[in-house]
Amino acid sequence: MKILITGAAGFIGYHLTQSLLLENHQITGIDNLNDYYDVSLKKARIDNIQDDNFSLEIADLANKKEIDKIFDENNFDAVVNLAAQAGVRYSLTHPEKYIESNIIGFTNILEACRHNKISNLVYASSSSVYGMNSKIPFSENDPVDHPVSLYAATKRSNELMAHTYSHLFNLPTTGLRFFTVYGPWGRPDMALFMFTKSILDQKPIQVFNNGEMIRDFTYIDDIVSGIKQSIFTPSSSNKNLDSSEIKPSTSTAPYRVFNLGNNKPVSLEDFISAIEIATNKKAIKKYLPMQPGDVKKTYANINEAKNVLNFNPETSITKGVKNFVDWYVQYYER
């Protein structure tokens, strides 16, 4: 297959690209290499991709002419949109970045897919769309009308926009709600990266909500497995679906949304303990109150992903954290 991956220099994009190249797919990556976090890490990911079936286009999703040109010059079988302005707390201070990348950029991808008759669009959503939901575990069929950050609001907007294009233009779309993805080559703004660095440096770590946070940490290899299944099994129309049977995650259009989580939430304290074991050092903890935009608990119901995508996360938090720490120590020569 000839597949376009946006955000190819990003954490998830890099791992997905490597996995698909091992199966001899032809991959075109798009990335703008912005400086939201260390650009050298993004470049190192790209430099680590050694395959003639991979090419990278430096472009910004918000630049419609650039995106249209890339689509016009290629005949993609599928598109995976992973490029986005990430980060909940950053959205409190830089809201315009999220509108530009996550709304305008996604609109340009939808339009390009529509006009180029793309047979499958898979895109990254987020567990953050569940916002103020208190019902646990989170199901794709729960209401998601009360986001608590602009980042979450843009991701929910992506789902609604995708449905519109699926309905109006018969564009097959699959939205994937990722739950706290972690692993080697991860983002420096994520807790695992920051905690590992601080613990190795014997500096205090900031533990929000006094440590009473629970996250459904999902290892990168498991996430990549779910994305690949979504690529190879596009959504389809169900015109016979009765209106009373329509749920938030399904439609008469070729549209669907899945949770991709580990289905085994871990407390922040246990997460930190796993890092302490992997680094063989004790954390110096600075307990702080809840931050704006954060949620206390995430927990994915993954029954739909299991049934349709054969999604079956296998990596324990102990193994996953150790894999990250081993990579971190080697990459940064600690």
Q: Are 276 and 283 in contact (CB under 8 A)?
A: yes
Catalytic site residue from 14, 37, 123, 151: 151
State in Å, rounded, how far the first CA of the chain is from the last one: 40
**CA atoms within 13 A of residue 192's CA, in its CB half-sphere:** 29
Q: How far apart are CA 139 and CA 88, in angstroms?
A: 21
Sheet holding 173-178, edge to edge: 54-58, 26-31, 2-6, 78-81, 121-126, 173-178, 255-260
Task: List, as one string, the DSSP characters of 256-281.
Answer: EEEEE--S--EEHHHHHHHHHHHHT-
Tokens of 83: 């490029």
Q: How far apart are CA 101 and CA 209, in angstroms?
A: 30
Q: How far apart are CA 131 and CA 322, in angstroms?
A: 30
CA distances from 46 to 6, 23, 49 (A): 13, 18, 5
Annotation marks residue 151 as catalytic: yes
Q: How far apart are CA 274 and CA 262, in angstroms?
A: 16
**Strands 214-215 vs 266-267: parallel, antiparallel or unpaired:** antiparallel
Residues labelled as active-site residues: 151
